Amino acid sequence: MAGAPSTDTAIIRRRVSRSQSQRGTEEPPLIKWTLIVIALAFSLVFLLLPLVNVFAQAFAKGWQAYWNSLTEPDSWAAIRLTLIVAAIAVPLNVLFGVAAAWAIAKFEFRWKSLLTTLIDLPFSVSPVVAGLMFVLMFGLQGYFGKWLEAHEIKIIFAVPGIVLATVFVTFPFVARELIPVMQAAGSEQEQAALTLGASGWRTFWHVTLPSVKWGLIYGIILCNARAMGEFGAVSVVSGHIIRQTETMPLRVQALYEGGSAVSGAAAFAVASLLALLALITLAIKTFLEWKQARDYARAQQLAMPTPESDSDTAFLARQNLR
Amino acid sequence: MTKRNSNKRPITFTAALALSLVCSFARDINLLNVSYDPTREFYQDFNAAFSKYWKEKTGDAITIRQSHGGSGKQARAVIDGLAADVVTLALAYDIDAIAEKAKLLPPDWQRRLPSNSSPCTSTILFLVRKGNPKGIKDWDDLIKPGVAVITPNPKTSGGARWNYLAAYGYELKRAGGDEARAKEFVRKLFKNVPVLDSGARSATTTFIQRGIGDVLIAWENEAIMAIKELGQGQFDLVAPSISILAEPPVTVVDKVARKRGTEEAAKAYLEYLYSETGQDIVARHYYRPRLESVMQKYAGQFTQLKLFTIDEVFGGWQKAQKAHFNEGGVFDQISQANR
């Protein structure tokens, strides 16, 4: 994909002729189609069908029942809590993520590899273990339990605990998206800005941030999707208090186990919101990829006549090469 | 609006805020009731009745929050700091654990309210598919080959421990006190269990909604509810020849309630369970009420069967827990043997 723009059409032409003349290097059609059918059937049965089923079950009792089960006070409280938790956890992780990615991508220091590993830790730890970790620290029998109780600070089985657990499990998303983008962008632009007299802060806002904005947005929506959907870690620290510490995923489980046909449909109604969130996340992701590809193509077009004259577009192009 | 008016506003606002703060200190009480799995619907109704009663009696508004889950898991959460004003769990041992490990209430808590602090009782019955195709009539039908039995995991679920002890007690009585035979009996029974859910409610979901198993060993209230509300005409209730008297206990978590200043309300809340109204709601949710007059009114919905208590067969919960469910106990041994 890094090929010089002017030779692009030549490559395509060559590829077309190759596909006719060099059949021998390709898979036989039978294998090709078998693989395609297997992949399609798999995603149909295991991804699309369950998703469609969620919506079918949610609307099984009609629109009115769907609306009622979402606005019913217990579920409504769960929806609100989930939004509040995401509204706290996501900005915090954007802050941590940008700081961590910046430190890793732009500076050299001694414990860098350790920091990179630490960022990945929440990915490798089971969410349940993450939740238990917080109980061990802040629970009544935990290390800080007595002190917290004496000072009437509630963390576990209250909203702060849920936020903490969510921040923990969603921590890597923003940083992981940003590090490669920032590394690919290099630090020449910042150096140029600094030598031209911009302050560090201004450099960050006007040079660093714009160059990574799509990666950042992508990181944020992934982070948000996980923050709203997290079950394991939140379940451990929540205490499952109805209307107080029950988030949407926990509410789905409670409703599903509610047993009756009505609460079963209500479970799917709440679940459909989470499924919708997944679809929106996917849509934004696809849009971002399309936009990036378009920016890249445009940068190539601009770069074509005099590639070395416009450093801005060249930079843009390079940034998209990650 | 004139300028003068807007100048006055902060004062009015502060006054209103102060007033509302004072009011909220005196009037707005909230209680947290940490309970086990299948009591959600019961406490929803009961809480509404109690808030009405409390408002009439004291003029205070009271909100009762609920938390539900496997009994053992809920006890653990209270030990770890879930601020329950009252706990209403599936069995006494779980509340003992709170008294012992977190010292949030005195060890003799069970003597504080009438009838072993259990405002209602229940028992363990079988739910089978319509027409009882496997012909299940008593406990010994559950160990026959080819019968799939659904019961939750005794390690996490209180209801499952009652199920297990009922089966064990049945065989122990039949074998004239021969522990080895009783142990072999429960081993065979658990060999027929394809799914061990973590709580009674999940087991019901497995049996009813996922359609797994020939028989569900269930709380009586859960089984009747399943028949009446979930699967009209899809299931039959089977009462074995003998079962266990399950006494789900309730108590105030003293340390938490004292700290939150809710002692009085929490005590009244639990006492209200024993009142005529409370007992009526108990019975409407298919638990067996303690009050004779209410029991008579609802006698039709409960099957008459012989019941033994945990004290007379196992010597109480402490002993039963140690012998059967703790690390290396009988349940661990039979699980090992079944592998």
Q: What is the mean pLDDT of residues A212-234?
A: 93
The whole-number average pLDDT for the span B173-199 is 94
Average pLDDT of the segment spanning A159-187: 92
**Most confidently predicted of A287-291, B206-210, B262-266:** B262-266
pLDDT above 50: residue B25: no
From B274, B289, B321, the end of a domain falls on: B274
Q: Model confidence at B70, in pLDDT bands (50, 70, 90)? A: confident
Q: Are residues B53 and B168 in the same domain?
A: no
B150 and B224 in a single domain? The answer is yes
Strand B149-150 versus strand B215-219 pairing type = parallel
Mutate to test the interface with A, among B82, B209, B216, B259 (most CBs of A within 10 A): B82
Residue B17 pLDDT class (50, 70, 90 cuts): very low
Q: Is residue B295, in this structure, part of any structural domain at all? A: no
Work out the pLDDT band at A191, boundaries 50, 70, 90.
confident
- What percent of chain A is modeled with pLDDT above 70? 85
A89: pLDDT strictly greater than 50: yes
Highest mean pLDDT among A187-191, A212-216, B98-102: B98-102
Same domain, B167 and B44: no
Q: Is the pLDDT of residue B23 over 70?
A: no
What is the pLDDT at residue A5? 45
pLDDT of residue A312: 53
Residue ranges of chain B whose CB lies within 8 Å of a chain A CB: 32, 34, 37, 40-41, 65-69, 77, 79-83, 101-102, 199, 201-202, 204-205, 208-209, 225-226, 229-230
Q: Would you state the pLDDT for residue B263?
A: 95
d(CA A289, CA A40): 22
Do B79 and B97 touch, CB atoms closer than 8 A? yes
Domain boundary among B274, B289, B324: B274
pLDDT of B306-322, one tens digit each? 999 999 999 999 999 99
Tell me the domain boundaries of chain A: 24-58, 62-319
Tell me what pLDDT residue B98 has.
96
Domain co-membership, B202 together with B324: yes
CA–CA distance, B50 with B59 (Å, rounded to integer): 13
**Portion of chain B with pLDDT greater than 90, in percent:** 79
> Which of A117-121, A145-149, A306-310, B185-189 is least confident?
A306-310
Whether B82 and B49 have beta carbons less than 8 Å apart is answered as no
> Closest Cα of chain A to B4: distance in Å?
38
Task: Please count the residue pairs, one from chain A and one from chain B, whose beta carbons lie less than 8 angstroms apart.
Answer: 65
Of B32, B67, B205, Cβ closest to residue A256: B205
Closest CA to A237 of A86, A78, A129, A123: A129
- Is residue A13 scored above 90 in pLDDT? no
- Residue of chain A with shortest Cα separation from B228: A260
Map tokens 């209230």 to a residue: B221
* Together in a domain, B149 and B189: yes
In the predicted model, is pLDDT for residue A311 greater than 80?
A: no
What average pLDDT does this structure show over A13-34?
66
Share above pLDDT 70 across residues of chain B, in percent, rounded to a whole number: 92
Quick one: tokens of B165? 């002890």
Is B279 within the bounds of a domain?
A: no
Chain A positions touching B43 (Cβ under 8 A) are none
- pLDDT surpassing 50 at residue B46: yes
Mean local confidence (pLDDT), B255-271: 95
Q: What is the pTM of this model?
A: 0.82
What is the count of structural domains for chain B?
Answer: 2
pLDDT given for residue B167 in this prediction:
97
Q: What is the mean pLDDT of residues B178-186?
A: 95
- B202 pLDDT higher than 90: no
Q: Given this model, what pLDDT does residue A4 score?
A: 44
In single-letter form, the type of residue at position A295 comes to D
Report whether pLDDT(A292) > 90.
no
CATH of the domain at B173: 3.40.190.10
Task: Answer yes or no: do B100 and B178 share one domain.
Answer: no
What pLDDT, on the 0 to 100 scale, is given for residue B2? 40
Q: Which two tokens stand for residue A256?
A: 């599903």
Average pLDDT over residues B32-54: 94
Cβ-contact A63, A259 below 8 angstroms? no
B263 and B312 in a common domain: no
The answer to whether B209 contacts A264, with C-beta atoms less than 8 Å apart, is yes
B312 vs A188, residue with greater confidence: B312
Please list every residue in chain B whose beta carbon sits closer than 8 Å to the beta carbon of residue A257.
37, 199, 201-202, 205
Question: Looking at residue A133, what is its pLDDT?
Answer: 94
pLDDT, position A306 = 52
- Give the mean pLDDT of chain A: 85
Q: Which pair of tokens denotes residue A312?
A: 């801005």
Say yes or no for a CB contact (<8 Å) between B209 and A242.
no
Whether the complex's predicted ipTM is more than 0.90 is answered with no
A220 and A228 in contact (C-beta within 8 Å)? no
In a domain, B281, yes or no: no
* Judgement on whether residues B309 and B172 belong to the same structural domain of the protein: yes
Per-residue confidence (pLDDT) for residue A10, from 0 to 100: 52
pLDDT tens digits for range B72-105 = 889 999 999 999 999 999 999 999 999 999 999 9
What are the tokens at A254?
């409670």
Binned at pLDDT 50, 70 and 90, residue A313 comes out as: low
- pLDDT higher for B151 or A313? B151
Q: Are residues B203 and B55 in the same domain?
A: no
Question: What's the pLDDT at B149?
Answer: 97
* Residue A53 token pair: 């089923």
Amino acid B11: pLDDT: 47
pLDDT value at residue A23: 57
DSSP state of A241: B
Average pLDDT, chain B: 90
pLDDT higher than threshold 80 for residue B10: no
Q: What would the two tokens of residue B233 be?
A: 């005409």
Same domain, B205 and B234: yes
Compute the distance between CA of residue B9 and CA of residue A295 in angstroms, rounded to an integer. Answer: 55
Option in A149, A240, A259 nearest B205 (CB): A259
Amino acid at A130: A
Instruction: Compute the distance between CA of residue B339 and CA of residue B335 in angstroms, rounded to an integer.
Output: 6
Give me the domain span that covers residue B313.
Answer: 121-246+303-338
User: Is B77 inside a domain boundary?
Assistant: yes
Top residue of B47, B73, B80 to mutate, by most chain A CBs within 10 Å, is B80
Same domain, residue pair B318 and B194: yes
In angstroms, the CA A148 to CA B255 distance is 15
What are the residues whose beta carbons fall under 8 Å from the beta carbon of B103, sequence distance 6 or more? B255
B282 domain residue, yes or no: no
Q: Which residues of chain A lie closer than 8 angstroms to B229, CB-CB?
A: 259-260
Nearest CA in chain B to A241: B67
Res. A14 pLDDT band, cuts 50 70 90? low
Assigned superfamily of A62-319: MetI-like (1.10.3720.10)
Phi first, then psi: give them for residue A135, nearest 5 degrees.
Answer: -65, -40
Q: What is the reported pLDDT for B8?
A: 44
Quick one: B333 and B225 in the same domain?
yes
**Chain segment A94-136, per-residue pLDDT in tens:** 999 999 998 898 888 888 889 899 999 999 999 999 999 999 9
